[in-house]
Structures are given as structure tokens and as C-alpha cells.
Structure 1
């Protein structure tokens, strides 16, 4: 198993990728864990334990912890955020619900204007500033994709309803990662893991709404950045990221541990109730679902542009090209990590669509 995937990885390396990891779970079992290339130009060889920053492809972890809290009856999607986080109701935000937070509709797409790299590592400072901020009054802007603020809002809601008021990191680890046996997904790198990280580089965004290029000496590649909490992104290995998605591919259960009921997972396949597109920062392939994940089955010509083979697919892209997904019909979960960023919005198909199709070929035949 793995010939089509290996060919697709080789093709990706030939067009400029530096290092690639691909892992897949099928029926709850790890069936692919393939890697190639280098952690940096003239760097170490990528292996299964190499850690990649996957940006928003890590949002699945944060979304899941809130869904677990909802399943426990600690929070309801339709209740106002201010009912569990009173400060959030300031400046016209009392009407926003937990569902609005999950689906990027609270009008807080931008980080606080006075945020500094150091302050972004201070959870209490960020959530306080967001709670005291006014939402956008422009409908399209209010419902655009909340790239970096989403995790703080969703994560703080999950914390506020937790009887123990655990930290975000403890909550995610104890309620999601440990029950599923996931050990290689982090919103802040622990000690000793930094030496395993790939060096990230390349153009994450080109054109609207900004151009953002990462160089090998960029902040993202520093120990200081890796030590900063990022609830809207994550550091992962493909093997462990795919394991997290495998719980969704199995309808909320993995290895005998049921994290979520299948009916709840099924509801995440519904697109959010919103007349506006997700915005230019994520592009036309981003169809935000009711559970905060993207709905792959709602993407036109998804097999061509994303490579997905089924109608019932949950997924999430990461800025720069990483992606993870769960095909509920095929019970297939996949994570693709890499370290040569590209802006996939400008391609007719996602550059990793051939790799996704190769996974279907090797795993499903």
C-alpha cells in the first residue's frame, strides 16, 4: 500500500515542496504514514515524528472540545455567549450565541489593534480585549472567517462552562486528546518537541486581503512563537492529526471511546445558516459548517478541486496548504502536513488534490 501516494508526494516535491507528511486512518486503523523530503532546505530528513505548524487545520481540536462540553450538557449551541461569559455581552454583543461563535459570526475577525506578539501569548489579556471590543456593523464583515480570534472565543466559552475552569490547554488535552489517544497535537509546543519541528516558509497569502510571506528566519520558526498559545492553529504530526480526524470519520468514536454521538457529528455536515460567503482570506472553497468545521461535500466539483471522494466530508484547511479531513461514508481520515507554504486560493484545484485522490486510491482501491 502507498504507491499512488508516494508518486503524488514525489510530484509535490518536484514542484517545490521541501518536506511532506501524509497519514490516513481507515475504519479506525492507521493504514498510511508516509513522509518524504527535508525539514528545511539541506535539513534533516522528514520522518513520522517531524512536527509541522498547520495553522487553521488545527481548529478541529478547539471545535471538538466545545462539542464535548455541549454533549455533557454544560452548554447549548443556541444560548447567548454572555450567559456563560457575561463580559462578552459588552458593546452590542449580547445577542450573539455559541453557534455564532462556532460559525464565525460574532463580528470579531480582527485581533485587538494593540496586540503584540507577547500579549498574544497571554490568554486572559486576549479574551478580555475581545470581550470588550465592538463587533463589526457590516453584515458581510461580521460573518467573515475569524482566522485568529475564533479559537480564543470558542476556547473561552469551553473554559467558562467547565466546572473546574481548567486552562484551555488542560481542557483540550484531558477532554479530547487523552481520551482519543492523541499525543502529537499541540496548541503550544511542550518542552523537548521544538527540535523535531520543520522549518516553515513560503507565501501563505498573495493579494487580497494581504500578502503574507514566511521566511526561514520568520517569527513562526522561533522558540518564542512555539511557546505561545494558539487556539486557532496547532502543531501536529500527520499521524496524530489524522487520528483526531478519525474520531469524526467513525461518527464520533475511536477504539471503543465515544467522544460524540453520531447524530451530533451528522449535524456538523450542515452548512452554517448564513447568506454571506466566508470571505477572501479562505477563498471560495470554504463552506463553514454548523459545527465550526468546513463542509467538503458542499464544495462544487469537490473531487476535482479538493480530491474528496464522498458526499459527507468534514475538513479544515490551514493557511499555506495543510489540510485534514474525515470522509464519514468511507470512514477515512487524512492529515497532510508540509513546510513550503502556498496560497491555494489562486489554483483551480488545491495543489494537494492529487495527493488526496492518491490516498483514496491506495486505501480504498
Structure 2
């Protein structure tokens, strides 16, 4: 991309960021776009902390909710690439206590596919419990599955990170956070920008989440989604601002900058200072692997190998090109194999929906379109 073209896309994204903040829909906003390894957009706007009047900076860290599941899945795939793990590793082979109540056949593949059958912790689980790794793992090992592992699909909203992280810890002797830093973010030069648990020394960089106007919308009492997100641990702005939440390893969520998240997904695409996975594994990761009804959320769902197989604003040119992950507070990170683009949007207006991410994605797609044959091109439309 030439200098004039890069300046054009930066200016248009920055204009969109400034308008979204000025209109009052956003408090603080970060957008990063990496194209074939080059950081072409690192836009910021608004306030990281409205109480103090502190402005968002490129290195501001944002609580990103389930967007972090995409980072966690990336770590798992990198570990398989390195030979540290195998997709068909039985969890009980490294975590014997997990075999209770017929869960002995659950594998790492099932974790990444949200098909283990343990989408819910006990209904009495609290935020304090979430911050206690050993307690959460004991609780999940003792849970009865909703279905035989591998025979169903349902979003594991808060259990995913513990199931993946404890399997990784027991199989390799290292935590998921350790591997995130050593195998992913340090080789990419973003070790201070992407975290499951934020080091205390970096808490001063974390944006304060602001609640959305109006009452929150929670699942219907007694529904499967209600069981999967017990009242004592539901994420909102207050949850995201808690020091214990921010500093604890809860890999179903995490805290990051947009440029850090985008760099990780660019690494998955094979661009930047380190190619994280082989082209064959990248294709396997992004390919849609499940289509059907989510037994937890009770909605039609399509799922790739650890990721949502989609972009928030445009349809991919072909199945298996786009993949990403999106959080309950409207954050997101996604990549497109055909265009070589990785995009991340971080925000601190804690509200559901991805309208901001969708608008940014549509703007990016204007600059990095894909032809009908699936080959990427570039334009300044």
C-alpha cells in the first residue's frame, strides 16, 4: 500500500471514530487495522476514564469480554502447531478428576468447539469464585454435563476459559497466560498489550468501562442461558472495572489494546514478525465446522474451530475466509484470509451489539475488497 493510500484509510477511520464519540454513542474508542503485516490504522478517540478526563491512547487497555476467547483459541492452535498439544487429547488423561459423570471422552477439540457439555458453572457461582482458579476448576470437574461430550453444541460463556486453561496447564506444565506471552505476544512485540489477567503494574493503562443507558437485558429466568450465566457473575461495567476481575486469569474474558489484538490475528494470517501457524492450520481454524442450534443460547449458530466464522459488517467472500471473536460489550477482533486484513475494535461503553464494529468493518471492506474469485485487491473508493 502506498503512502497516500495508507493516509486515506487512516483519515477515514479516524473520522468515523471521532464522529461516533461526538454523537455520544461511544465514550472511548480504539480501532486498529493491520494489512499484510503493516499497521495501517491505529485510531483513537474519546475518554479512557470519563471521571478523570483521561483521553484514550493507542496503548490504552480495554476490557474486551469474550473477544478474549479468540485470543485463547489462538494460543491453543499455536500450541498444537508447536507439538505441545493435540486436538484429540482427552482432558481426563491430564486432568483425571474431570472424567466424573461421563465426561471422560471430552477432548481439547470439544473445548474449542464448545461441545464439551459443561456450559454452566453452579448457579450459585460468584465473581469471587471466578477469580479463584483452583475453585472454578474443582467446580467444573464435579459438574454433570448437559450432553455427552462431542454430541451437542452450546456456547460455554464463562466455562470455556477454565476448561481450556486447565487442560493446557496440566498438559504442558505452564499456564495459558504464560503461553500467551511466550508463544504469541512476545514474538509479535505486543506482550504488554494483550492479557487474560492484567499485571498490576499495567492497571493504570486500563480504560474505565461505562454502563449503557437503561436497564441491562439478562436471560429469561430458568432458561438455559440463565443457567449458563448465573446472576452472581454476570458481566457488566461494574464487573469489568473490578480490580480482582482485571488481574485474575479468567480466559473467557480479557483486557487488551486494539493494536495488540489485531497483531495477534495478523500473526495467525502469517504476516508480521512471526507467522503463528501454518497455512493448512489457518484454513482448518477458519473453516465452518458446525451449523445448527445453540443449546444454550437457543439460536441458530455457525461455528469455526474456536472462532466465529464471520465479520461484523460484511459477509466473507467465501466460507472459511473470515474468522474472529466478539465480546458482550461490543468489542471485537477479526481477520480475513483473502484480503490479509486483521481488525480490532475496543470500546468502554459496556453495551451489547456490534454496530460500531460493523460500521468500521464496512469502511475497511471498502478499502480492502475481495473479488468474486476470492482474490484480494485494494481501492480508495
**TM, length-normalised to structure 1:** 0.85
Matched residues in 2 for 1:56 and 1:235: separation? 10
Matched residues in 1 for 2:105 and 2:151: separation? 17
Secondary structure of the residue that 1:268 maps to in structure 2? helix
- Cα 1:138–1:170 change in 2 (3 A) is closer
Secondary structure of the residue that 1:333 maps to in structure 2? strand
Q: Which residue of 2 aligns with 1:262?
A: 279
Q: Which residue of 2 aligns with 1:288?
A: 303
Q: Any conservation in 1 of the 2:115–2:150 contact (CA below 8 Å)?
A: no
Q: Which residue of 1 aligns with 2:217?
A: 206
Q: Which residue of 1 aligns with 2:182?
A: 174
Q: Any conservation in 2 of the 1:85–1:157 contact (CA below 8 Å)?
A: yes
Matched residues in 1 for 2:296 and 2:196: separation? 25
Of residues 138-147 and 99-108 in structure 1, the stretch that sits farther from structure 2 once superposed is 138-147
Root-mean-square deviation (Å): 2.7
Of residues 149-158 and 40-49 in structure 1, the stretch that sits farther from structure 2 once superposed is 40-49
Q: Which residue of 2 aligns with 1:37?
A: 46
**TM, length-normalised to structure 2:** 0.82
Q: How does 1:235-246 map to 2 (within 5 A)?
A: 235-246=255-266
Matched, 1:83 2:90: no
Q: Which residue of 2 aligns with 1:359?
A: 364
- Cα 1:271–1:237 change in 2 (3 A) is same
- Cα 1:314–1:49 change in 2 (3 A) is same
Aligned partner (choices 337, 344, 348) of residue 335 of structure 1 = 344
| Structure 1: stretches of 5+ with no match in the other structure | 297-301
Matched residues in 1 for 2:139 and 2:124: separation? 9
Matched residues in 2 for 1:98 and 1:139: separation? 11
Q: Which residue of 2 aligns with 1:299?
A: none
| Structure 2: stretches of 5+ with no match in the other structure | 1-6, 220-224, 369-377
Shift of 1:101: 0.9
Q: Which residue of 2 aligns with 1:317?
A: 326
Matched, 1:121 2:131: yes
Matched residues in 2 for 1:121 and 1:160: separation? 19
Q: Any conservation in 1 of the 2:117–2:146 contact (CA below 8 Å)?
A: yes
Give the length in aligned residue pairs: 344
